Amino acid sequence: MGAMTLDRHACYSALLARDVRFDGRFFTAVKTTGIYCRPVCPARPPKFENCIFLPTAAAAQEAGFRSCLRCRPESSPDIGAWRGTYATVSRALALIDAGALDTGNVERLSARLGVGERHLRRLFTRHIGASPASVAHTRRVLFAKQLISETTLPMTQVALASGFGSVRRFNETFQQLFGRPPGALRRKTSTPDTVSSSGITLSLPYRTPYDWEAMLNFLSARAIPGIEAIADGAYRRTIMLDDLIGWVDVRNDAKSGVLCATVSFPDFKQLPIIIARLRRMFDVTSDPCAIGAALSRDPMLAGLVATRPGLRVPGAWDGFEIAVRAVLGQQITVSAATRLAGKLVSAFGPEMPGHAAPMGLTHLFPSAEQLVNRDIAQIGMPRARGATIVHLAAARIADPHLFDPSQSLEEAVARLCIIPGIGAWTAHYIAMRALRESDAFPSGDIALMRALSTNQTKRISASQLHSRSEAWRPWRAYAALHLWTSDAASTPPVAKRIWPMRLLIDRLPSPIGDNFVVWDEQGHVRAMEFENYEARMQNLLQKYYGAVDLNTGRLPTNISEKLEAYFNGDLASLDTITVATGGTPFQRDAWSALRRIPAGTTVSYGYQAAMIGRPKASRAVGAANGANVIAIILPCHRVIGSTGKLTGYGGGIERKRWLIAHERRYAS
């Protein structure tokens, strides 16, 4: 069903079935009652001839209908059928959410978008069914209704928090729309006490499924110390608006299909802006079913979508903050960039008052004014990159709307790339997370190229990746998240831990001597070494994982049977054993390449280096193989000298010779 061309019969069938898949995609206005409802409304369905189907709540309100008190349209997922049909409308709505029409008018809004006022009104009529002003008014009313239904805030504070200029106007609007004062609506609900000294809690509905675990994993890896914290299944961070400070806490209520956002902030007038930012940050308005169906046309992405059907693109609380974070992440690992961000905040960020935030949240992110003309390199980063942050801060000061979603993707990228030190990768990453551009795609990203090269002997190039991504438009940002997530799963980065990693160890006999096999509680093999190399194995485990709690256990059957099958001649069984590695990104690339060398063949170190796109790194590859702690399963015995000579092997040359002969015998 497309925007403004809703199929009446399809809509009515969804209404009769109360099909949750259509919740938020259209609204049913009933001519005989003057009420509009969600498709899942529990009330008795109206007759077909009495129904008008509209794409948005704003269209229903502009047509003169009032919202249902039973199904509460304000609590439906905001995923109208029009979404994705016109980027200008999407950007306009984002600006309206951010308060563009609270402090300005449609003329100024259209100017920010670079279109004429009349053209913008025509676009809204075509895609939304209502004018920009009506959309803003409807959202104001529905947000007020949500505050009435979900909180115990006094009506005066509800009026101010929802953007009404006065309590009188607030009361008149509700009397006109609902035929009763706002207080009467609360008396008809069983309102939980969601207002406390710690803040006010509101729900952010989303379209299921929602992969909350993946969202938290992504944010956790990039959480800036002192600013952000992930604990107990929740995301917390400090915030600042108009020189006022506070904090937010967001957690998932999967049973209800909502995120629960607790906001602690001294000025309730900022609530609409805070909630709008959180909705964009956690991507609650996306339609995972529609996006997944589009990406699944690519056979490789189809498997990734099936594995994580509710994956979202994490947004950003503040555009300048995420832009600085992107610059810090240029050409270094995620964990290294996160540490640098913590140093930046510690050096330049304002401190939070001791009583103002939960434990662990100690600072606010520094503003552009606090970073411009500062020596950023003092925190331990290249001077050129520090200068880029200074240039970025100056650009933000010169243009306060630099990170507003007011331009096309191409225009936004070009505008960002003008800033010295900002390239295409950084600009697309900023567009993806700060501007919420669904088609942003950093095609030069090494992890994306690695994820698409899993079954190839040579890593694909950035240009090849870009060409491949053309088929994923307009959802390339979501494709990137699927690829990043799959890459992280296949080569998990493991940081040293401050608490011991619990591992299990058992002995496995083989024709060339007993082996020690180490695995984690998820069943991933972490190490395999011959018995006379146990000390080396333990040293490498501590190097990769920090403190290790090694306990004797019984090797899982699925691992022992596959290893025994390998020694009995079933060479392919080795490839089905799941491993998890530590080490550097380069080492993990080198070890991953080992599993792509066919059993029964040998290659040189130069060939292995070429497999990972580093043809001149044969010595580094040799060093990486020497640090491999998972013998046989990661078959470094298949790599020999360029002259055909058997080179050093952790288990000894005789064992290497036996393994090569064994594989050649059964491979033929």
At 90-124, the pLDDT tens digits run 777 777 777 777 777 778 877 777 777 788 888 77
pLDDT tens, residue by residue, 244-275 = 999 999 999 988 889 999 999 988 888 988 99
**pLDDT value at residue 57:** 83
Model confidence at 196, pLDDT cuts 50, 70, 90, reads low
Cα separation of 100 and 75, whole Å? 23
Q: What are phi and psi of 230, to 5 degrees?
A: -120, 120
Lowest mean pLDDT: which of 39-43, 87-91, 487-491?
487-491
Lowest mean pLDDT: which of 84-88, 172-176, 414-418, 530-534?
84-88
Q: What share of the chain is helix, strand, coil (3-state, %, to 5)?
A: 50, 15, 40
5 or 39, greater pLDDT: 39
- Consecutive H or E run containing 201: strand 199-205
Per-residue pLDDT, averaged over 204-228, amounts to 91
pLDDT at 323 over 70: yes
pLDDT at 457 over 50: no
Per-residue pLDDT, averaged over 488-501, amounts to 52
**pLDDT value at residue 78:** 62
**pLDDT value at residue 191:** 47
pLDDT at 82 over 80: no
**pLDDT value at residue 454:** 57
Best mean pLDDT range from 3-12, 292-301, 311-320: 311-320
Q: Which long-range contacts (CB under 8 A, 24 or more apart) does 548-551 make?
A: 548/500, 548/501, 548/503, 549/500, 549/501, 549/502, 549/503, 550/503, 550/504, 550/505, 550/518, 551/502, 551/503, 551/504, 551/505
Model confidence at 498, pLDDT cuts 50, 70, 90, reads very low
Which active-site residues does the annotation give?
37, 445
Query: What percent of the chain stands above pLDDT 90?
Result: 29
Model confidence at 488, pLDDT cuts 50, 70, 90, reads low
pLDDT tens, residue by residue, 121-180 = 887 777 767 778 777 777 888 888 888 888 888 888 888 888 787 788 888 888 777 777
Cα separation of 660 and 635, whole Å? 10
Cα separation of 293 and 305, whole Å? 9
Cα separation of 108 and 91, whole Å? 14
pLDDT at 359 over 80: no
**pLDDT value at residue 499:** 53
515 or 355, greater pLDDT: 515
For residue 626, is it left (φ>0), alpha (ψ between -120 and 50) or beta? alpha
**pLDDT value at residue 192:** 52
Lowest mean pLDDT: which of 19-23, 384-388, 590-594?
19-23
Q: Which DSSP category does 598 fall into? A: P
pLDDT at 496 over 60: no
Tell me the Cα Rg of the chain.
29
pLDDT tens, residue by residue, 435-455 = 888 899 998 888 888 887 754
Q: What are phi and psi of 497, to 5 degrees?
A: -105, 150
